[in-house]
Structure 1
């Protein structure tokens, strides 16, 4: 099975313009751009045949090529990372059995998240798309709730059936729970990790579908699959002591830097 990782990165984010080029300071004090840290995370994954940065902006292209990444230029009209991944796979001539979308705002994604994701899709031959979910501890859940109280769009949560196929994804914190949890207690809330693994046929079909009301309301690209009758497999992954968060807002920069310092990540 051949596997491609594409890292979609766009400069003109409405919530955080220029986000891929924002610097993040690691535990040693070294500052690297968000896109470089995401690329380095992808390069640590085993069993991958190719890693490319997918962008429509020459500033990101220049920065990525400067640190050694392969870059595929894509259309500025791609609505989201999945559309960009579909364009990349087509531009490369297709031929990959699985395409992984490692979004360029998740530099703390451990290699085993992606390795387990690919394995999960391979072990579910009828599944067309898979995405990781991570059970929240009390501290992570409180972080999600704090973001919503402050009016920030933070992490995404997922609910899924007994067969691990998604029921819904939301930027609200779901399912609702009225309990208070200690920092290290396990909760019933699952943090959606913004990585996807697609089979090529489903990925190629995606740009041809219209944006549905749920995708439009939530701003979550994976809902387009569900609104078109395609099942999304949720693959539970383990933190193994690693902290995880995406860079969604400027306020997340010190949060990620503190996490890297605590974990000793350079």
Structure 2
């Protein structure tokens, strides 16, 4: 398999949830660990990477990471999103691997075995510049996303793709639209997990390109790739045994802690 490195972009000044990387989450044993530490543990459980780094511009996050023995690369405060931060990290670290995996710092429930599958997807789909997972929604996951939408909270991202599993669009809305949604139809919605495998040239092209209008409207960095006409490969996977939600809002803390406990994660 192609060599890959994992970078976890993390910023303190989140618009929706300031200080989110340092929020403490209790696991199955009641032990509290910060979100960035749980994300680091998720990343280091991935087999085959050449290394894991947290990319940040904040000294508080850097201190937390070095405190538990993680590696940090300090990046520019001008990075607009995680993809730009990964590109900046590679400028600092050098070409550490031909593929860089962005494992977002608010998604510690992501299955670690997805990373090698994303890298393999890039090997198979030679014209794709980036690969990212799309998880079929279970009824409970759909209900969580629908509740966020009904209550005016910005929840998870959904994605639609064509029969060749090339992404067509990503949205903070639930797409596709399901009139009279049933539990069976919930499986037609795919949750986009915050994980990307990029080819190095794509990272550079992304950073040099102008921000796209859709990217700004949706607040979704990956839409810049589609706006540039670049192929994004969606790795479609079946519903997980747990709801791989992200920590987007303070109200997600309790739900995430319940999932950590149910999965026996310390």
> Normalising by the residue count of structure 2, what TM-score does the alignment of the two structures yield?
0.96
Is 1:232 paired with 2:236?
no
Contact 1:137/1:185, CA 8 A, preserved across alignment: no
Aligned match of 1:216: 216
- The whole-number CA distance in structure 2 between the counterparts of 1:194 and 1:237 is 14
- Give 1:185 deviation, angstroms: 7.5
Alpha-carbon offset, residue 254 of structure 1: 0.3
Contact 1:211/1:224 (8 A) holds in 2: yes
Instruction: Give the corresponding residue for 2:157.
Output: 156
Q: Give the total of aligned pairs.
A: 265
Distance 1:243 1:141 in 2: 9
Contact 2:141 2:243 in 1 (8 A): no
In structure 2, the residue matched to 1:192 is 192
What SS does the aligned partner of 1:235 have?
strand
Contact 2:122 2:131 in 1 (8 A): yes
Distance, in Å, in 2 between the alignment partners of 1:240 and 1:208 is: 36
- Please state whether the residue corresponding to 2:159 is helix, strand or coil: strand
Matches for 1:1-266 after TM superposition, within 5 Å? 1-182=2-183, 187-266=187-266
CA deviation string 1:17-46 (max 9, x = no partner): 100000000011000000000000000001
The SS at the match of 1:111 is coil
The CA RMSD measured in Å over matched residues stands at 1.3
Name the CA distance, whole Å, in 1 between partners of 2:108 and 2:47.
Answer: 16
Contact conserved, 1:7 with 1:53, CA < 8 A, in 2? Answer: yes
User: C-alpha offsets along residues 156-194 of structure 1, whole Å, 9 cap, x if unaligned?
Assistant: 000001111111000000001124434x87620000001
Please state how far the C-alpha of 1:239 moved relative to its aligned partner. 4.6
Residues 153 and 37 (structure 1), Cα distance of their counterparts in 2 relative to 1, 3 Å cut:
same
- C-alpha distance after superposition, 1:77-133 (max 9, x if no partner): 000000000011121111411000001000111111212111111211221101001
SS at match of 2:137: strand
Most deviating of 229-238 and 190-199: 229-238
Distance 1:18 1:93 in 2: 29
TM-fit CA distance, 1:200: 0.3
Secondary structure (helix, strand or coil) at the match of 1:94 reads coil
C-alpha distance in 2 between matches for 1:43 and 1:242: 20
Measured in 1, the distance between the counterparts of 2:53 and 2:136 equals 29
Q: TM-score, normalised to structure 1's length?
A: 0.96
Distance in 2 between the 1:169 and 1:177 partners? 16
SS at match of 1:106: coil
The Cα shift of 1:2 comes to 1.8
